[in-house]
Homo-oligomer: A and B are copies of this chain.
Amino acid sequence: MPVDSSRVEKHIIIGGGVGPMAGVALHGKIIEATRAPAGDASHIAVIHLSDSAAIPDRTGYLDALARGAANLVNPGHAMAAVVGRAARALPANTAAVAGIPCNTFHAEPIYSAFQDEVEKTGPALTVINMLTATVDLLKERIGSGTGQRVGVFATNGTRSSRIYDSLLAAHGYRIVQVPEALQPLVHDAIYNPEWGIKAVSPVTGKAAAAVREMALHLVRDRVEAIIPACTELPLALPGTEFEAIPLVDPVLALARALVRDAAPDKLMPLPA
């Protein structure tokens, strides 16, 4: 699609549904991160396509891939199709920048397939990697990596894919996780069909308590920042700090990176 450079502000595409409430959180954080002196009219256009049923579960895919299962649908390909559908809603001559608010989605076998597909559509559609944006926000909050301990908690899929391990190590941080024995509780807080964050909105007391218990483990383990590395977790752990330790929310990081890319002059300063 030829892009008219006179329309400099890009639209933002949210590849949502993974999970659906994480897309809503990202959408809200984009609005909050935008300067809007003229009210509604100042806001950046957002196309948010949330089609959960079209995207296979990311953790399930990675598990099946590790078991050597055949004929799997890669969630990266499925999401590229969703983003392609969303792009059909763009006005003529308008570029867009897309983000996917799901950590597990950024595991290499999924994200690289997604990025390859999206890049085929041409230069008018670009993608922000949420993990890269998270490291940028981590640097803003606690400085460049010089061996700081950074707590990460995540789904089984994100943890076993080790995406944060290599990312943080590459930037000079040391990853700290909850003990293996407690990992099922983190997973349950997200996925439990009776009380997990994905199944019940708003967040149940049981899920919130489990998430806080995990965060306390990391605090006692002397971390200097915490990355709640599943997009559902900040719903149970809101705000920018927990027990005086900075929370570096990947969804907030992605929201800010999308605004910066679409309309840099509109990016609000980080809340104090």
On A, residues with C-beta under 8 Å from B are 11, 16-21, 23-24, 27-28, 31-32, 36-43, 45-55, 57, 85-86, 88-91, 191, 193, 196, 198-199, 201-202
Contact = CB atoms under 8 A, between A and B. Distances in A.
Contacts of A89: 47, 49, 85-86, 88-89
A198 B40 contact: yes
A257 to B, nearest CB: 18
Contact of A48 (B38, B46, B52, B53): B46
A44 B120 CA distance: 29
Contact of A40 (B20, B28, B46): B20
Given A39-B198, A91-B85, A45 B17 contact: yes
Contacts of A90: 85
Contacts of A46: 16, 20, 48-51
B57 A52 contact: no
Contacts of A43: 17, 19-20, 50, 52-53
A62 B78 CA distance: 44
A16 B30 CA distance: 14
- Copies, count: 2
Contact of A53 (B19, B27, B45, B88): B45
A50 B39 contact: no
Given A85-B89, A89-B89, A45 B40 contact: no
B199 A36 contact: yes
B28 A24 contact: yes
Nearest to A58: B40
Contact of A21 (B21, B31, B50): B31
A167 B254 CA distance: 43
A46 B50 CA distance: 5
A4 to B, nearest CB: 16
Nearest to A86: B89
Contacts of A47: 47-50, 86, 89
Given A17-B45, A32-B201, A46-B50, A39 B85 contact: no
B18 A40 contact: yes
A247 to B, nearest CB: 16
A29 B257 CA distance: 26
9 contacts: A17-B40, A20-B46, A24-B28, A38-B193, A39-B57, A39-B191, A41-B52, A48-B49, A85-B90
Nearest to A51: B45
Given A37-B193, A39-B199, A43-B52, 11 more contacts: A37-B199, A39-B57, A41-B57, A42-B52, A43-B50, A45-B50, A46-B49, A48-B48, A48-B50, A85-B89, A88-B89
